[in-house]
Each structure stands twice: as C-alpha cells, then as structure tokens.
Amino acid sequence: MRIPNHIGIIPDGNRRWAQGKGLSKEKGYAYGLHPGLELLRLSQKLGVKELTFYGFTVDNTKRPANQTKAFQQACIEAIHCIADEDVSLLVIGNTESKMFPRELMPLTERKIFGQGGMKVNFLVNYGWEWDLANLLRDSAQESGIISGLKSNDISRIDLVIRWGGRRRLSGFLPAQSVYADFFILDDYWPDDKV
C-alpha cells in the first residue's frame, strides 16, 4: 500500500450528526475530538509525514454565535489533545481578527511536542483569500507560489479526505491542493471511524 506523505482532513458533518442524534447543531463539534485523535494516531502508525486539519474558516465565522463559540472551543481542545502527542505542531490562520482564539497565539510558530515526528497543521480562522493575498512576490518567484503564501510552512497535499458527503474543497488550501486526490466519505465526521 502506497502511503500519502501529506493528508488534508476536512472534518465535515458535525452539525448534521448532532441533529441526527436529536441534539442542537452546535453540540456536534465536541464529538469530533476523539475521531481526530484516532485518525492522527493511525496516520502516525502508517508513516504519514504530514497531516493538516481544517479547523474553521473565516467563512464559518459568519454563523450564529452559539455555533462559532462551539467550534472555536472544539478547536482549542483538539489542539491541546494533539499537543499531548509526539508531533511538530503549527496553528495557522488569520490572527488579526477577534475570531482567532488568543490562547492559540503561541502555537502560530511551529513547535515540537513530545518526541516530535509527524508534522501536524491545524487551520484556525483560515481564509483562502487571506492566504493568497499579498503573495510574497520575491520568494514566490524564486521557489514557487507556495513559498510566497502565508501558509508557506504547509507542503503540497497528496490526498484530501472529506467527511460528510460534500464533494468540494470549500476553500481548503487551494495552492497546496492543486494536485491532491480527493476522497469523499458520506459518514459524518463524528461517526465511528471503524
């Protein structure tokens, strides 16, 4: 089995999962923590070198406040869980907006946790337009567009896996995803993975 070097994860379907369980929409996010950790450990075991989680986006922050608070909280907790593993962790997104949780600021430079190892990137208040805007022209010309992006510490993605059945990128790292294979699962993200 050929293992992709870098997998992008779009963990969609939390709200639909919650509604299916008779919960209010915003309750779904907390149930995404365990699946994320499971997936991270499985990826480490398989030798994946880099994993990028689509936390939440600038687009997402237009939702009702009870939802934005719930997914911000879920991202903070997920990132704390990830920091308990052996990883090289980076949180990336638009920190200039108040939607970016302050407590994650120290993680916006890549940090080694435990033994280090797999690169894990977590997008928080990420916007594709924010990422592409003001391309650092000189570095982009010398060594490719990605080096000129705000997300330049995230490498080219080999495989994007999206949960929740929707067949689109929804703004996920457009430059890094240009050659990525897409794999869509109809399961909602909080559903059991096995």
Q: Which is nearer to its own copies, 84 or 186 (CB)?
A: 186
**CB of 70 or CB of 176, closer to its own copies:** 176
Sheet of 159-163: strands edge to edge? 111-113, 87-92, 118-126, 50-57, 6-10, 159-163, 181-185
Q: Contacting its own copies (CB under 8 A), which of 33, 83, 145, 185?
A: 145
> Do residues 190 and 17 make contact, with C-beta atoms less than 8 angstroms apart?
yes
Minimum CB distance to its own copies smaller for 17 or for 172? 172
The angle at the Cα of 60, spanning 173 to 130, to the nearest 5 degrees, equals: 45
180 touches its own copies by CB under 8 A: yes
Q: Pick from 182, 185, 191, 193 the residue near its own copies by CB under 8 A.
A: 182
Collapse the DSSP code of 89 into the 3-class scheme (helix H, G, I; strand E, B; otherwise coil) and give the result: strand
Q: Amino acid identity, residue 121?
A: N
Residue range at the interface with its own copies (CB under 8 A); choices 6-14, 23-31, 88-96, 166-174: 166-174
Spatial contact of 89 and 110, defined as CB atoms under 8 Å apart: yes
Lookup: tokens for 104: 């994650």
Q: Which residue from 23, 135, 161, 185 is in contact with its own copies, where contact means CB under 8 A?
A: 135
Closest separation in Å from C-beta 130 to its own copies: 9
Is residue 45 close enough to count as binding its own copies by CB under 8 A? no
Applying CB under 8 A, does 129 fall inside the site for its own copies? Answer: yes
- Contact between 20 and its own copies by CB under 8 A: the answer reads no
Helices (H), the chain: 14-20, 33-46, 65-82, 128-132, 137-143
**Residue 34 near residue 78 (C-beta atoms within 8 A):** no
From 22, 45, 167, 192, residue interacting with its own copies (rule: CB under 8 A): 167
Q: Does 98 bind its own copies (CB under 8 A)?
A: no
Q: Given the rule CB under 8 A, which residues bind its own copies?
A: 128-129, 132-135, 137, 140-141, 144-145, 166-172, 174-175, 177-183
